Structure 1
Amino acid sequence: MASASIASTPSPWHAAYPTPRNSPATISREEVLDMIKRSAETPSRDYVLVDLRRNDYEGGTIRDSINLPAQSLYPTMPTLYTLFKDAGLRKIIWYCSSSKGRGNRAAGWFADYIADQGDDQMKSLALAEGVKGWATAGNEYVQQMIEYDASIWL
């Protein structure tokens, strides 16, 4: 008698890491746009935007963001925290396409890490509606993107 093989669905990449303890705070695209405009008027800024996309990194990204694929985030949090802290950053803003999966998860993990350090100065935030919400919000937002490709966002 032949044995039937059962196909198993692989676990998602994030299953290897703990679930964030708390729901992350979010920040609206309007608030971020205002921060970008203010930082253009002064030489310093206290925030960083982190684009978490990897395979779906297309259509452009918000100007001056760094790309850190979500799959590499969890093990690098101690180093990232030190770099961000030493740079004087107070708001770490995470996003992916919609910020409903990777963006929220990253913001939650990093918020947990910040709390574990006893840091009450730094905040970890998810960009509401992600880069898709940004790219489809109008010309004022598109002007703050690099490598923008309208065909991706239709």
Structure 2
Amino acid sequence: MDNENVIDPPTPWHAAYPAPRNPAATICREEVLRMMKQSAETASKNYVLVDLRRSDYQGGTIRDSINLPAQSLYPTIPTLYALFKGAGIRQVIWYCGSSKGRGARAAGWFADYIEDQGDTQMKSVALAEGIKGWATSAGGEYVEHMVEFDPSAWS
């Protein structure tokens, strides 16, 4: 075999950053929906949902999420932490398509940063099964809590 013709696969974007020290904790969609309903009733919200998708950001997103593409996340963690802390956020919920790649990585990185700050009040978790689980597995009430939901994007 001629090694000169072998093309190395491209380096993934996240290889430029350290791996999270610990596996990411997860939260189930049922708990997130409960939190959303509770915050709507009390007009008080101490969590933030972060959609990490960039080029695959179609089909809708969970209502009240902010979009921070994963590829630009790592260098902004200290600033995000300061903003979230100042806003009284106690739980940051990260998700991507499945929350197995970007979602888990972001939750882990942010949890590491929280730990480094000695903060025992804030948590960083990944949404189990990501937006795909929210939009396809759960359906019904879950898709009612989405913005720009497009069922054709999920088939």
Per the shorter chain, which TM-score range?
over 0.9
Q: Normalized per residue, which structure has more helix?
A: 2
Give the structure 1 partner of residue 151 of structure 2.
150
Pair 1:113 & 2:113 matched: yes
Pair 1:6 & 2:6 matched: yes
CA distance in 1, matches of 2:11, 2:113: 24
Runs of 4+ off more than 6 Å: none
Pair 1:131 & 2:120 matched: no
Calculate the aligned-residue CA RMSD, in Å. 1.0
CA distance in 1, matches of 2:139, 2:20: 33
Query: Which consecutive residues of structure 2, in runs of 5 or more, have no partner in the other structure?
Result: none
CA distance in 2, matches of 1:4, 1:143: 54
Give the TM-score, by structure 1 length.
0.96
CA distance in 2, matches of 1:4, 1:58: 39
| 1:67-86 matched pairs, under 5 angstroms | 67-86=67-86
CA distance in 1, matches of 2:82, 2:154: 35
CA distance in 1, matches of 2:133, 2:94: 14
AA aligned opposite 2:6: I
CA distance in 2, matches of 1:10, 1:138: 36
Give the TM-score, by structure 2 length.
0.96
Specify the SS of the correspondent of 1:4: helix
Deviations 1:97-149 (A, max 9, x none): 00000000000000000000000000000000000000011210000000000
CA distance in 1, matches of 2:132, 2:63: 14
CA distance in 2, matches of 1:32, 1:44: 14
Q: Report sequence identity in percent.
A: 74
Specify the SS of the correspondent of 1:82: helix
Deviations 1:44-100 (A, max 9, x none): 110000000000000000000000000011000000000000000000000000000
> 1:6: Cα distance to partner?
3.5
